[in-house]
Amino acid sequence: MTVISRGDDPPYPPGVSRGNGLPAPRGFGALSERRGRILALLGRRLVQIPLVLLAVSILTFWLIQLVPGDPGRNALGQYATVAQVHAWDVQNGLAGSVVTRYLHWIGGFFSGDWGTSFTYLVPSRPIILGHLANSAFLALYAFVLLVPVSVILGSVQAYQEGRRTDRAITISLMTLSSVPEFVIGVLLLVVFAVGLKAFPVQSGADATGDFGQRIQAMTLPAVVLAVSYLAVLARMVRTGTAGAITAPFHRTAVLKGLPPGVIVRRHVARNALIPTLQLLGIYLGGLLGGSAVVETLFNYPGLGALMVVAAERKDAVLLTDGVMVTGVIALLALLLTDVCLILMDPRIRFESRES
């Protein structure tokens, strides 16, 4: 899969050579060329995504076939006859060769029949989608906390580049980012939930409960999630902003007497946020799919925690469907990022990362 090479590129101002020796296209001709490239990229993505998804589904399905256990026997108990177990297997798509079973499963997956969970004994689709919604809600909350903080930290660092503030923030963020998520979670739990009693220890989202209460219960897990992404994101903002500040177009804007607010909004923010946005898209996929660690620690009913339960109980149906959903989400997040980048950055380069 090709990814647009934005991340480590210096933010080029409009009209400046883009490193390939050719001047950037200008005027109307450039516009139509650009539109052609956008369509080409989106078209390529629409071909790539199903292919990657197919590969992921085959890999996942094959791996999960290796999970030991006899679900038919487990479901029917020790007094069922061999014939009964076989009938159950046929009914649940567990009979036949791996290829037959794969085709049965993938066909069902795309037609909405995701099979029945061995553990919960109900169709796996509503369970997975329900947990996915919970995970997405938590991810959204984490994003709301994460984005402003990292933008502020990163831009403060960029404007103070090389000074003590910059170094102090870098060192504390780097250290914080290497501390495992569950350790940060445990420390927060001990201080804020056990010590200060400001938050509940269990964050199980009770959808019927009061919204404020639900938000309060979700605060600690959201903070842990946000903290684990903070360092990388702040770093990205710092690099982007520093690049924009040192670029010639920034000096021009300052020298022609634009008010600082306009410079920040029109010249710095746009250029600084493009690489950040791409990184956010990559993380969004992971975040939406749920963080197994944070959800398990806080007993939050998200998709990640569900996958852990499915793995513990050897629930192949739930595991296969859940992993597939995670893959779909990750790929869609990448596509969404591309679209956002195209909307934000008119001079984007559509080249594969390797070239």
What interhelical angle do 211-246 and 124-159 show, nearest 10? 40
162 binds another protein (CB under 8 A): no
CA distances from residue 158 to 88, 118, 298, 342 in whole angstroms, order as listed:
63, 53, 35, 25
Per-residue DSSP letter, 116 = B
CB of 23 to another protein, least distance (A): 26
Question: Which residue in 55, 122, 140, 198 binds another protein (CB under 8 A)?
Answer: 55
Contact characters 7-36, another protein, x per CB under 8 A: -x----------------------------
**By CB under 8 A, residue 278 contacts another protein:** no
User: What is the pattern of x (binds another protein, CB under 8 A) and - over residues 188-217?
Assistant: -xx--xx------x----------------
What's the distance, CA 345 to chain centroid? Answer: 21
Residue among 141, 199, 229, 300 that touches another protein (CB under 8 A): 229
The set of residues, in sequence order, having a beta carbon less than 8 Å from that of 24 and lying 6+ positions away, is 12, 14, 15, 16, 17, 18, 30, 347
| Cα–Cα dist 341/347, whole Å | 10
127 binds another protein (CB under 8 A): no
| Shortest Cβ 9–another protein spacing (Å) | 12
- Which tokens in the block code for residue 223? 């903070």
Nearest to residue 239, comparing CAs of 262, 211, 271? 271
List the interface residues with another protein, window 286-345 (CB under 8 A): 286, 289, 291-293, 296-297, 304, 307-308, 311-312, 314, 319, 323, 326-327, 330-331
Nearest-10 Cα torsion for 170, 171, 177, 183: -150
Among 59, 140, 144, 215, binds another protein (CB under 8 A): 59
Q: Is 204 exposed, middle or buried (0-12, 13-18, 19+ CB in 10 A)?
A: middle
Question: CB of 271: closest distance to another protein in angstroms?
Answer: 20
Residue whose entry in the numeric block shows the structure tokens 């006899």: 70
Kindly tell me which residue out of 98, 122, 152, 187 binds another protein, with binding defined by CB under 8 A: 187
Region near another protein per CB under 8 A, out of 65-73, 137-145, 242-250, 341-349: 65-73
Q: What is the CA radius of gyration of the chain?
A: 25
Query: Six-digit token pair at 96?
Result: 């036949």
Binding of another protein by 75 (CB under 8 A):
no
Contact between 123 and another protein by CB under 8 A: the answer reads no
Considering only residues 186, 198, 207, 343, which one is a binding residue for another protein as defined by CB under 8 A?
186
Q: Judged by CB under 8 A, which stretch of 56-64, 81-89, 100-108, 203-211 contacts another protein? A: 56-64
The DSSP line for 40-94 is HHHHHHHHHHHHHHHHHHHHHHHHHHTS---HHHHHH-TTS-HHHHHHHHHHTT-
Q: Which is nearer to another protein, 5 or 84 (CB)?
A: 5
- Binding region for another protein (CB under 8 A): 1, 8, 52, 55-56, 59-60, 63-68, 174-175, 177-183, 186-187, 189-190, 193-194, 201, 228-229, 232, 285-286, 289, 291-293, 296-297, 304, 307-308, 311-312, 314, 319, 323, 326-327, 330-331, 354
